[in-house]
Amino acid sequence: MNVMAKAEKKISSAFIYFFGSFGGILFGYDIGVMTGALPFLQADWHLENAASLVGWITSAVMFGAIFGGALAGQLSDKFGRRKMILMSAIVFMVFSVLSGVSPDMGEASAYYLIIVRMLLGLAVGAASALVPAYMSEMAPAKARGRLSGLNQTMIVSGMLLSYVVDFLLKDLPGEWAWRLMLGLAAVPALILFLGVLRLPESPRFLLRKGDEAQARKVLSYIRKNPADIDQELASIKETAKEERQANQKTSWSTLFSGKYRYLVITGVGVAAFQQFQGANAIFYYIPLIVQKATGQAASSNLMWPIVQGVILVIGSLVYMWIADKFNRRTLLMVGGAVMGLSFILPAVINWMMPNMNPMTIVVFLCIYVAFYSFTWAPLTWVLVGEIFPLAIRGRASGLASSFNWIGSWLVGLIFPIMTASMPQEAVFAIFGIICILGVIFVKTCVPETRGHTLEEIEEQGTNRGRVKASNPEN
């Protein structure tokens, strides 16, 4: 026991934050890998004219993630964030390998791959819910935006990694190329599993389960000042005491009670808008977008995903630099406005100048990605991780993640169908309008959370929720 205790004491805060956010690598790799694999898969299985089937293969992971996020959020309240992240890594490894060894059985192959990728999506959705919750509960209030932003840096690094892998494997025979692209996702899943084996459980979860000694030990790894540890423990215990006195039994209906409804609508709304704004249409289909704009084969356009990936990584680093210097609401509104204009302007220019350079739309997509990368992309998960009260955090984070994945699934599914029936500029203009609606939602519904402890956010949000419940006309 003493040997184990000494080993635990060697865990550094850097190790905890790195592997605590490493689940984003899985999330990002699987978002990006199909971008390069799809052109080869289409050619190998003769799916060039099967827009709906291509949409389902691409979006199957997101469909599974809808349920994975909700399930993991609920189970993490019972078993802990750490154990559920470990389980997610195992599921991810298994179904990544099964994706890469898909049998060649004609049209049945496509349905096999869709089912396997749906099951893989359970792990992707779980990671998207668990990592922000874990990171927000480990990070101090003054650095929570920056440290929670590590999740986004991991996500976009995973995307860039998948784009580079796709590019390096593109000269292999078509069948081997896409199989290796999909199967290699098991490697970061194995790294995550080995790293998380050494991670401690969240101190808030431990205290909720009555293990104050272990919660104090975990906080000692990541807080330098003993007075801060005592203050944080006291704050968490006070919140837990109020919950016990209220004798609350958290259920799905609890999320929409007058006390919590406001915060749940806020968190779920931001998560849904992030996807319905259309970012993943770019990330999943950029080679096909360039092909439609220029006429060049999609398989020869695999450098464009790398360009997008580099922009995303740089943007995530910019966010970590500015995260705790600007209000969350300000960044979301500025980012959403520029993103909306980046989608709408190509349609306007094309209407005024029908002979515009077809690459103009790709330039505007790069501007969109740049602003998305340091605003909506990281801040969605920061808000989801910090805005929900402890009593409902697991379930509410899971619900927000599920709505996020519903948007991602629908965008991935319908984008190839939409672009087959209307100009690309018109499709992106629709997404641009949704971006503007997202700005309005932030302006009217989202509270400012920068610099507040999780307990302060809970108190402010639930008080506002009570006011709204007692004055519904307001």
For the stretch 323-354, pLDDT in tens is 778 888 999 999 999 999 999 998 898 888 87
**Range ranked top by mean pLDDT from 147-151, 177-181, 394-398:** 177-181
Q: What pLDDT score does 199 carry?
A: 87
Q: Is there a contact between 331 and 375 (Cβ–Cβ < 8 Å)? A: yes
Statement: residue 5 has pLDDT above 50: no
The Cα–Cα gap between 280 and 335 comes to 16
Q: Contact, 459 vs 147, CB < 8 A?
A: no
Q: Which of 313, 297, 302 is nearest to 36 (CA)?
A: 302
Radius of gyration of the chain (CA): 22
Asked if residue 368 has pLDDT above 90, the reply is yes
pLDDT at 2 exceeding the cut of 60: no
DSSP 356: -
Q: Exposed (0-12), middle (13-18) or buried (19+): which is 173, by Cβ within 10 Å? A: exposed
For the ranges 120-129, 204-213, 231-240, the lowest mean pLDDT is seen at 231-240
What pTM value is reported for the model? 0.77
Task: Give per-residue pLDDT as tens, 382-409.
Answer: 888 778 877 777 778 778 877 888 888 8
Alpha carbon distance 84, 75 (integer Å): 7
Q: Would you give the end-to-end CA distance of the chain in angstroms? A: 58
What is the rounded CA–CA span in Å between residue 390 and residue 371?
31
Q: How much is the mean pLDDT over the chain?
A: 82
The alpha helices in 101-185, defined as continuous H runs, are 107-138, 144-169, 174-183
By the 8 A CB rule, do 169 and 177 touch?
yes
The answer to whether residues 446 and 383 touch, using CB atoms and an 8 Å cutoff, is yes
* 3-class SS of residue 354: coil
pLDDT band at 4 (very low <50, low <70, confident <90, very high): very low
299 DSSP assignment: G
Cα 106 vs. chain centroid, distance in angstroms? 33
Give me the mean pLDDT over the 174-197 stretch.
90
- 474 pLDDT exceeds 80? no
The stretch 292-302 carries a mean pLDDT of: 71
How far is Cα 377 from Cα 312, in angstroms, rounded to an integer?
Answer: 9
Q: Give the residue extent of every domain in the chain.
A: 12-470
CB-based contacts of 325, cutoff 8 Å, min separation 6 = none
Task: Note whether 308 and 283 are within 8 A (CB).
Answer: yes
Q: What are the structure tokens assigned to 290, written together?
A: 């360039």
Q: Rounded CA gap, 469 and 34, in Å? A: 45
Sign of CA dihedral 439, 444, 449, 455: negative
In this structure, what DSSP letter does residue 388 have? Answer: S
pLDDT one-digit tens code per residue, 10-66: 577 778 888 888 888 887 888 788 888 888 888 888 887 777 888 899 889 889 988
Whole-angstrom distance, CA of residue 32 vs CA of residue 61? 12
Res 255 pLDDT > 90: no
Rounded Cα distance, 283 and 155, in Å: 12
Q: Is the pLDDT of residue 226 over 50?
A: yes
Look at 47 and 414; give whichever has higher pLDDT.
414
CATH superfamily of 12-470: MFS general substrate transporter like domains (1.20.1250.20)
| pLDDT of amino acid 148 | 61
Backbone angles phi, psi at 49, to 5 degrees: -105, 15
With a pLDDT cut of 70, the percent of the chain lying above it is 87
Here the tokens at position 429 are 């203009």
